[in-house]
Structure 1
């Protein structure tokens, strides 16, 4: 059939790829998660350290992925890297987790965040209202709005990569400029007394209670607090690797993917650090930690802009999350495409529609993301995703060492910066993060791991069915 002969069209330039990296990273997290981080660490110095550690890990991983993207510049990205470094089972477990938790739950979380802040402008869309009540589950207008946004963006991306590219570049540039503007205004209105108070005991690591008092940590608990705090910052910095999924649609992918990864992660890391510096200049640590519903940016904007601050931030987050979800939706379906080509996903997901995009993959992703919208809270999804994501990042980066040994003579247009030191440091930090998270936040780490492991029987069932089907076809 004609549909099956369609090929990806390489139409995305370096600018488009960089905007996809930055735009997929910046959602709603930077406007919210600093509250939870501050409650865990209790000081401005450690607030920035958490973001610095996350930024270092993100940039290190991105620079490492540059080598893999140059070696395998094809649709599927991380799924392909894991298959080449390990085996089809490991790559399937990633693809399975990606579909069931990582990408679809992230799309849902970002969609719900869009809806929550839209409710500032249209109160009837509040998450606190009940639109439908089925007894075992109640549905709010915010959840329905999140679903509508996901469906609309899926439709737009099913119309071709250029449609998604236009939205991505426009919205990402808008939110980068808006966030930079917020930082400038915040630093201009910096309160010297608040600044001095926040930075007097900048290296005190302790839990900050609602009454403003500081508790104490044992040494192990202090490390656990840092790991718990990093859940939010890692979620806020995630999805930078989405550009690797659409390698087949990027011009000169061997060069531009690695470069876009570096540029995008550097831009976002700097913006995130400056945003948190701004927070400490306009709000006390207590006000950061216990902002209403963790909406630190709203509290900051109200100080900077007065009563109009809430509307300004609501619009910024709506722009940010809309653009972020566009990038997530655009990139995600390319993984299912690669899985389907390996006979490990719905066969139809391995075909391109008349617009040269994996239409079926986009819509199956849409359905699953919409189900996530109805099922859980933003924080629940955040905790579950961060653990599984870092787990696969570590495996992928370790894959560089494996491929260097297995294929020493393979063409490597770009080699991982700082190899082997930086990749080793990332793996050590990732192991520490995952271990501490299992110990101190097991409720939503184990479910993510269990979902990943359920992919093992699914993999063997699918391969068994494929084998039987092949044998029947040959008989």
Structure 2
């Protein structure tokens, strides 16, 4: 191995280059988290909350728990600044087979479920504009998946500038809700009180933390951020503080105009608020903003998800048909189609449920929290196994905060199984299929994946 010191300014042509600034990483984190969920999950959270205090406290608790998780990820990201993110941490702690199971879960459950739930948001808000009947949301969701799959199959390029402007548009849409609800709500608006009763805390936290979800995706760009060992902890924590404040203001606006009962009654809660404040034009405008935000997030998820499908095809020779890259279009076409079919199947499952979006959440949540728990445990495993490895950032109050992160993840794993329906069962069953594949298939270990 060449041990010569690398000269400044010389880049490894294989490794990712450090081209991102701290503010770019901050924008990416905000853009990933502040998607379309804040326009949809408040309705479900309000329905499970017995009082307004419980609902608002849950949003604050969700922000605090996310920050604790971010501190744990900050230690892992600065200690192992490879591009693989969770895959790298799991592989180091548990070996290649569990890491490949994570890759399978990301392909078949986590990313696919995210695409489906984002497209159900498109469907809920499109149904406000033009109702197609009882299956409106599912039909619009399926149409969105088909169109986005076709666009990505043909081949598309998404510049950082375009994505940045779309992120700005999403945040502007959230701020419009805050301003409309807190400053311009007419005096004759009568919020609907909640029904009272007990609160389903576990279910509430599943949806709250889903809405905060995505911040961990920031670790996938750690290797591309300048001075990442210094800046990534700050990026993760400060972005979540900003998001928590924004989410709290949005929910205060919803409560002021709609009340807890009104929030629970309306799936398209943002459009309902704008309609009450500004009339029909306001509702149409907000629906358009939410649809654009959801399509943007779904398309971005489809792009990254297809690359995950492609990677699994490369790692498992038996599944090599999805691990082919089409040079002409510059896209993994087979992976894109496979992902689209899986997302459509999930939409089909949701079509026969009372709430397709909720089914998509149920499908994704247990698997998501399982691997979050495993990453939290990996922090302890790697500290014990590699005690002399330099750790530029260490989780404060160790081991208390990592234990709290693991306990929260375990509780959310339990809650996502105990308080949800058949969607969770299907998600776990798909993960189990991946476990069977591990018994039958031998993963191919590539040279570049061997970690020092």
TM-score, normalised via structure 2 length: 0.82
- In the alignment, what sits opposite 2:423? 444
Aligned partners of 1:66 and 1:258 also within 8 Å: yes
User: 1:393 Cα shift?
Assistant: 0.8
- In the alignment, what sits opposite 1:205? none
User: 1:48 Cα shift?
Assistant: 0.8
User: 1:363 Cα shift?
Assistant: 5.8
**Change over 3 Å in CA distance of 1:366–1:196 after alignment to 2:** closer
- In the alignment, what sits opposite 1:233? 208
Aligned partners of 2:373 and 2:406 also within 8 Å: yes
User: 1:424 Cα shift?
Assistant: 1.2
2:55 matched to 1:44? no
2:357 matched to 1:378? yes
Aligned partners of 1:12 and 1:251 also within 8 Å: yes
Q: Provide the C-alpha distance between the structure 2 equivalents of 1:58 and 1:334, rounded to a whole number of angstroms.
A: 26
Aligned partners of 1:127 and 1:141 also within 8 Å: no
SS of 1:140's equivalent in the other structure is helix
Quick one: which of 391, 394, 407 aligns to 1:415?
Answer: 394
Q: Provide the C-alpha distance between the structure 1 equivalents of 2:286 and 2:314, rounded to a whole number of angstroms.
A: 43
**Change over 3 Å in CA distance of 1:63–1:285 after alignment to 2:** same
Quick one: which of 268, 274, 288 aligns to 1:301?
Answer: 274
- Superposed, which structure 2 residues align to 1:149-164 within 5 Å? 149-152=148-151, 159=157, 163-164=158-159
SS of 2:215's equivalent in the other structure is coil
**Change over 3 Å in CA distance of 1:417–1:344 after alignment to 2:** farther
**Change over 3 Å in CA distance of 1:263–1:330 after alignment to 2:** farther
Listed as ranges, the gaps of 5+ residues in structure 2 are: 1-12, 351-355, 446-452
- In the alignment, what sits opposite 1:166? 161
Aligned partners of 1:227 and 1:436 also within 8 Å: yes
User: 1:142 Cα shift?
Assistant: 4.3
- In the alignment, what sits opposite 1:134? none
User: 1:110 Cα shift?
Assistant: 0.7
- In the alignment, what sits opposite 1:369? 343
Query: How many residue pairs align between the two structures?
Result: 427
- In the alignment, what sits opposite 1:140? 139
2:72 matched to 1:64? yes
User: 1:155 Cα shift?
Assistant: 5.5
Q: Provide the C-alpha distance between the structure 1 equivalents of 2:377 and 2:291, rounded to a whole number of angstroms.
A: 37
User: 1:359 Cα shift?
Assistant: 3.8
Listed as ranges, the gaps of 5+ residues in structure 1 are: 131-137, 199-207, 468-475
User: 1:24 Cα shift?
Assistant: 2.1
User: 1:308 Cα shift?
Assistant: 1.6
User: 1:37 Cα shift?
Assistant: 1.6
Return 97-106 or 409-418, whichever deviates more.
409-418
2:40 matched to 1:32? yes
Q: Kindly indicate whether structure 1 or structure 2 has the higher relative contact order, using CA contacts under 8 Å at least 6 residues apart.
A: 1
- Superposed, which structure 2 residues align to 1:268-417 within 5 Å? 268-291=243-266, 294-333=267-306, 335-336=308-309, 339=312, 343=316, 346=319, 359=332, 364-376=338-350, 377-417=356-396
Q: Provide the C-alpha distance between the structure 2 equivalents of 1:460 and 1:374, rounded to a whole number of angstroms.
A: 30
